[in-house]
């Protein structure tokens, strides 16, 4: 009996030590505890996120400045508008293969983003050919990649790998409108969107956008409240650990916020634009951008000028031409 009693403290100590080691290993494996956070030098300083296994959020230490972009040569973006499901009318007819195929007047988004570039000193290439995204070396020619109302499984395996390596190497990503209805079954992409996905939307209608963060490059020239019309996406999941830049005031939506699949809306905090660092890169996101009239310049569509300023600022910050997510 005495020997058994003497063994109990030793057994308890060993059990406690084993439990501690097990918890530590689990935390490291999930990224909740990173053994690299104390490293000194140019390597990644923060490697873990329990949701997507990457560093993400508003901490600039998540960014990988690994020398993949020479800004002395100017700035250049790739606009990707391929759809493998519903196609928004403002994209116009599907594009021919290759890079920079002929456009029609109905290709409103492609023409408008090209003009944004021409007017603001950066080059815009555009494509709906997934093979143009097949190599990280190709994507590293661009300071940012823009997904504008892409839909469903618009990337193949090679393009998925390429996009991930591009972002990890410090690339910029801009996701607009139905970029949130893309690659639903790829968790890494959901994380790139800020832990967000499109679920449904109510009727297209006028509402009031609230600029909740006016320090960011993309919002600093916007009024605190401005009128705009959109589909006002409801999101599942909704973004977390991001810098929310703008919300829609749901009380101004006269036709209600309940979506066609009965999402009840987001209440007082219904985000429509945000930014984050993600897995080494920069990601700027907005659910706005449904209507072709968003790019009108004659004052006939309320909020068009504000939307264009918002989008331009997002593109310029994601590609490093302006400070990002400050």
The tens digit of pLDDT for each residue in 17-75 reads 444 444 333 433 333 333 333 334 455 555 556 689 999 999 999 999 999 999 999 99
Residue 25 tokens, joined: 């290993």
Indicate whether 106 pLDDT > 60.
yes
In eight-state DSSP terms, residue 202 is: -
Per-residue pLDDT at 326: 86
- Bridge partners of residue 206, in order along the sequence: 229
Separation between Cα atoms, residue 93 and residue 151, nearest integer Å: 14
Is the C-alpha dihedral spanning 183, 187, 193, 199 positive or negative? positive
pLDDT at 15 over 90: no
- The whole-model pTM stands at 0.86
Residue-by-residue DSSP string for 130-179? GGGGS-HHHHTT-SEEEEES-BBS---HHHHHHHHHHHHTT-EEEEEGGG
Distance CA 125, CA 146 (A): 10
User: What pLDDT digit, counting tens, does each position of 243-261 carry?
Assistant: 999 999 999 999 999 999 9
pLDDT (average), residues 305-314: 98
CA distances from 35 to 32, 47, 53, 58, 224 (A): 10, 9, 14, 21, 43
Query: Could you report the per-residue pLDDT of 280-290, keeping only the tens digit for each?
Result: 999 999 999 99
Fold assignment, 56-318: Rossmann fold (3.40.50)
pLDDT for 128 beyond 90: yes
């Amino acid at each position: 009996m005495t020997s058994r009693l003497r063994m109990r403290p030793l057994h308890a100590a060993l059990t406690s030590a084993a439990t501690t080691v097990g918890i530590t290993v689990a935390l490291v494996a999930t990224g909740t505890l990173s053994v690299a956070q104390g490293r000194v030098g140019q390597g990644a300083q923060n490697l873990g996120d329990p949701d997507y296994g990457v560093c993400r959020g508003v901490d600039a230490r998540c960014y990988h400045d690994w020398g993949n972009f020479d800004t002395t040569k100017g700035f250049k973006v790739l606009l990707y508008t391929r759809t493998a499901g519903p196609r928004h009318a403002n994209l116009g007819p599907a594009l021919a293969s290759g890079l920079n195929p002929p456009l029609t007047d109905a290709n409103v988004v492609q023409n408008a983003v090209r003009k944004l570039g021409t007017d603001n000193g950066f080059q815009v290439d555009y494509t709906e050919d997934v093979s143009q995204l097949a190599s990280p070396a190709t994507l590293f020619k661009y300071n940012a990649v823009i997904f504008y109302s892409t839909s469903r499984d618009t990337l193949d395996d090679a393009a998925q790998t390429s996009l991930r390596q591009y972002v990890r190497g410090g690339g910029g990503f801009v996701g607009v409108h139905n970029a949130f209805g893309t690659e639903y079954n790829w968790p890494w992409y959901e994380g790139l969107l800020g832990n967000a996905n499109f679920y449904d939307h109510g009727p297209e209608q006028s509402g009031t956008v609230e600029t909740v963060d006016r320090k960011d490059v993309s919002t600093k020239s916007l009024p605190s409240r401005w009128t705009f019309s959109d589909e006002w996406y409801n999101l599942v999941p909704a973004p977390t650990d991001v810098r929310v830049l703008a919300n829609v005031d749901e009380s101004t939506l006269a036709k209600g916020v309940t979506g066609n699949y009965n999402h009840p809306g987001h209440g007082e905090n219904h985000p429509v634009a945000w930014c984050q660092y993600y897995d080494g890169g920069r990601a700027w996101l907005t659910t706005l951008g449904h209507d072709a009239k968003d790019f009108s310049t004659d004052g006939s569509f309320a909020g068009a000028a504000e939307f264009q300023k918002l989008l331009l600022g997002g593109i310029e910050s994601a590609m490093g031409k302006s400070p990002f997510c400050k």
